[in-house]
Structure 1
C-alpha cells in the first residue's frame, strides 16, 4: 500500500451500464445495483467510457448506500418500457453485444436473421424477469459455423413487444 494513502486494490468487477440515447445536455440520473462480496471493506467506483461515446461523460454526486436485512424493495429500478438497443460495436468483427430491456416478466425470444428473413441463430428463448440484459453474438449460426460478412437483422419478441434492428458483420 505504500504511497497510496491507505488505499489498495484487491479485485475488480465490471458492471456494464446502458445509457439511453439523449440529445439533452441536462444531467441524467442512473441507478446501479452492485452486489458486494461478503467481507469487502470498501468500493472503488471509476467511470471508464468506451470509444462509442461522442463528447464527454461526467460523473457527479456519487452516493453509495448499504441496505441490510431488506425483505422487500419498493423502489427498485426496473425498465419502464420494452427496448431493443443498437448493438455495439457496429460494424463488428468477430463479436457484438446486443442489449434489451423488459419491464415485466415474459417469454423472450432474441434471434439473428439474414437479409432473406431466415433465422440463422437463436440467442435467447426463455422466460425472463424484468430487467436489462445483454448477450454476445459471435457471428456463428445455430450449427456453430461462422456466417459470411454482410448485413443481419436481430429481433426481439417479448410478450406483445416486437422490435428489430440492423447490424453489419465485416471480415
Structure 2
C-alpha cells in the first residue's frame, strides 16, 4: 500500500478538481477572445472591401492606402490571434495533464478502497483522450487555414478591383 492515506488522496483529488474548474474558465475566456478577434477581423475586412469597392478611392490613385491598411490590420490580427490560440493550446495541455493526474489519483483511491486486486474495473481514458486531442488540433488548423484563405482572397480581391476612371473612359483600343 502507498504511503499516502485515503484522506490525502481525496484532498489531492479535490484540489485537482478545483484546478480543473479554474483551467476551464481560462479556456472559455481564451476561446471567446479568439472568436471575438476572428469575428472583428472578418467584419473589418468586409467593410474595408465594400468601402473600396463602392468609393472613389481608386479614381484618385490612392488604391494602396486601403490595401496597406488591410495588410497592417491583418498582421496585427494574426499576431494577436496566434498568441491567443497558443495560450489556449497551452492551457488545454495543462488541463490534459491535470486530468491524467486526476485519473491516476482516482485509480489509487479506488484500489485503496477496494483492494489492489480490484483495479481491473477502472479503465483508462488515455486512448480516447488522444483522439480528442487530435480533433482539437485539427480544428485549430482548419480555423487557421480558413482565416488565412479569407485573408489571401480578400487581398487578391482588393488588388483586382478595377479603376472606376478606366471603366468610365473605356480602353484605348475602342475609338470613341
Shorter-normalised TM range: under 0.3
Q: Report the TM-score when normalising by structure 2.
A: 0.20
Between structures 1 and 2, the one with greater strand share: 1
Considering Cα pairs closer than 8 Å and 6+ residues apart, tell me whether 1 or 2 has the greater RCO: 2
Q: Report the TM-score when normalising by structure 1.
A: 0.21
